[in-house]
Amino acid sequence: MALRHSLRLILLAFLWTGCSSWFTDERPQARKKKRGKSRKAHIEAKRELQAADDANAHVESNVKVELLGQAPADAPNILLISLDTLRADALPSYGGRPDNAPALTALASEGILFTNSYAQAPSTSPTHASMFTSQLPAEHGVMGTKHRLPLSHWTLAEHLQAYGYRTWATTSSVRFALGVQLNQGFSEYAVYSQGTQYEKSSSAMKVALQTIPQDPARPWFGFIHLMDVHAPYLVPEPHQSKYLTGVSSVPPEDTVRFLHQYRLDKDAVSEQQVEDLRAMYAGGVSHVDTRIAQIVAAVKALERPTVVVVTADHGEAFFEKNYLGHGAFLHEAIMRVPLIFWGPGLVPPGPPRNALAQSIDLFPTLTAYAKVPPPEGLRGENLRPVIEGNDVPSGRTVIGQAPQRSMLIRETEGGPYKLVLNGKNRKPRLYALSDDPLEQTNLARKHPELVAQLKPALTSVSFRALAKTRAQNEEQWDITDAEREALEAIGYMDAGP
Ligand SMILES: [Zn+2]
């Protein structure tokens, strides 16, 4: 599929009625409730954008939140980088191939790495919605491909904008299409969803490298999403064949179809095919690492200090538990993601932190770095005290949610335990992750007392909320033909009308 090189520049200019109430000192949540009329206008404006039959867009929005305060003059830039589909153990710092990803290894050794960090969901838009709102998937309502983030949510970008931050984002997947409404709070927002992963990420990178040095007088919050690691595993040389021995037994251009067709059919796939898939995936990691090196070089040239966070929205399974790819299950290969904080003078280097962390922690942590108060109602926790040396296991709990199942991981004296419940029969599965990181032995019968202890915390936030989310079918993304085509190209075959 050819990339449409032309960049659609759409200026969104509409009146934000009812602005006067925004100048008060009310809390953001209360303020949002007053947005009835203007919300309607907002949705109409976004519909106009979607009507453009071009899934690549670069939008400048003048929909601004009113100031709640002002970040201090020395507030740092905040850069959140999401490397789509990057499982934690693909990186050397997490036990992956030792000669891969030198730029990410350097970031981890110069900053702070979280060894036990989890995505909130096994797919793209649910986890990103959790990063942006600090709410669980069942709470923000983005559970599957067709859901969009309701406009009633208060996002990290909106919050930082309300304290004077410039906000920008550049993304490389149709899962960030304007109709998904993940652009809330970003005054500059680019989405590239057509072409190969390489082409889409290259376009997103171009915007990132142009934007990073701009407007040095005030701090910015930037979000960069790169798709290079996601199937099809088709990346430029020398990365493509870096870890392959000979010609791949699965043609790179055929990997999306292959992953979809055999995702639940381990017996039909040879060991060589799995090995080659892993090798090509590692080549994608090698390639995206060169992009990290470029971003870090651009950030190092800035005068204003910058906190850089690298993470992922989910990983990729290679039949560790009879599943290939990502999207439905909550296996460690899919849910455990990298989390690295880096910032000279801001994030002192130190040993890896073992405390549990999750996507919803980003909002409170990054507002702490921005030196602004967090809004009320965030689900996640500020990780800054842990980053700064207080790495005491706190009995924390991680929750992960997919449409049909949910998981809970809790720190205990014997190491973290993971409970997984299937949405239909709720038959519990319990794993001791310290001894059994690939979840091969179900301990639910052996430790019914642990199941009984963990289960209520999971059911209370999951199944009731999931039922509510399913009932909210008005929050559906109105997918265009071009977007449907882009979804199919990356493996979402169920996005039909
Ligand atoms: Zn993703």
Q: What is the DSSP string of 348-407?
A: ---SPB-S-EEGGGHHHHHHHHTT-PPPTT--S---HHHHTT-------EEEEEETTEEE
Distances (CA, A) of 81 to 201, 222, 410: 12, 8, 27
d(CA 348, CA 384): 11
| Rounded Cα–Cα distance for residues 315 and 451 (Å) | 26
pLDDT at 57: 76
User: Which residue ranges in the chain fall short of pLDDT 70?
Assistant: 1-55, 62-64, 390-394, 424-425, 462-475, 493-497
* Ligand 1 centroid, distance to 121 Cα (angstroms): 10
175 C-alpha vs ligand 1 centroid, how far in Å? 8
* Distance of CA 315 from the midpoint of ligand 1 (Å): 8
Distance 313 CA to ligand 1 centre (A): 5
State in Å: Cα 402 to ligand 1 middle: 13
Q: Give the pLDDT of residue 143.
A: 85
pLDDT, tens only, 244-278: 999 999 999 999 999 999 999 999 999 999 999 99
Between the CA of 322 and the centroid of ligand 1 the distance, in Å, is: 20
Protein residues with C-beta less than 5 angstroms from the ion ligand 1:
84, 124, 313
- Sequence ranges of the domains in the chain: 9-394, 404-461
3-state secondary structure of 271: helix
The answer to whether domain 9-394 and domain 404-461 are alike in fold is no
173 CA to centre of ligand 1 in angstroms: 8
What pLDDT sits at residue 457? 85
Tokens of 150: 């309701």
**CA 388 to centroid of ligand 1, rounded, Å:** 30
Q: State how far Cα 465 lies from the chain centre.
A: 21
What per-residue confidence (pLDDT) applies to 489? 82
Task: Please tell me the distance between residue 148's alpha carbon and the centre of ligand 1 in angstroms.
Answer: 15
For residue 316, how far is its CA from the centre of ligand 1 (angstroms)?
9
- Check residue 285 and give its pLDDT: 98
Task: Specify the pLDDT at position 111.
Answer: 98
The answer to whether 84 and 312 are in contact (CB under 8 A) is yes
Give Cβ neighbours of residue 218 (< 8 Å, ≥ 6 apart): 164, 165, 166
Alpha-carbon distances of 146 from 96, 129, 473, rounded to whole Å? 34, 13, 10
C-alpha 73 – ligand 1 centre gap (Å): 35
State in Å: Cα 390 to ligand 1 middle: 31
Q: Which fold has domain 404-461?
A: Arylsulfatase, C-terminal domain (3.30.1120)
Please confirm whether the linkage preceding 238 is cis (ω < 30° from 0): yes
Output the CA 310–ligand 1 centroid distance in Å: 14
102 alpha carbon – ligand 1 mean position (Å): 23
Q: How far is the CA of 213 from the centre of ligand 1 (A)?
A: 27
Domain with residues 9-394, CATH architecture: 3-Layer(aba) Sandwich (3.40)
Q: What is the pLDDT of residue 51?
A: 44
The single-letter code of the amino acid at 73 is A
Cβ-based neighbours of 5, under 8 Å, separated by 6 or more: none
Q: How far is the CA of 486 from the centre of ligand 1 (A)?
A: 14
- Residue 304: DSSP 8-state: S
Separation of CA 428 and ligand 1 centre (Å): 27
DSSP classification of residue 491: T
Q: 465 C-alpha to center of ligand 1: Å?
A: 23
Report how far residue 125's alpha carbon sits from residue 147's, in angstroms, rounded to the nearest whole number. 8
Q: Could you say which DSSP state residue 347 is in?
A: B
**Three-class secondary structure of residue 12 per DSSP:** strand
Residue 360 Cα to ligand 1 midpoint, Å, equals 16
490: helix, coil or strand?
Answer: coil
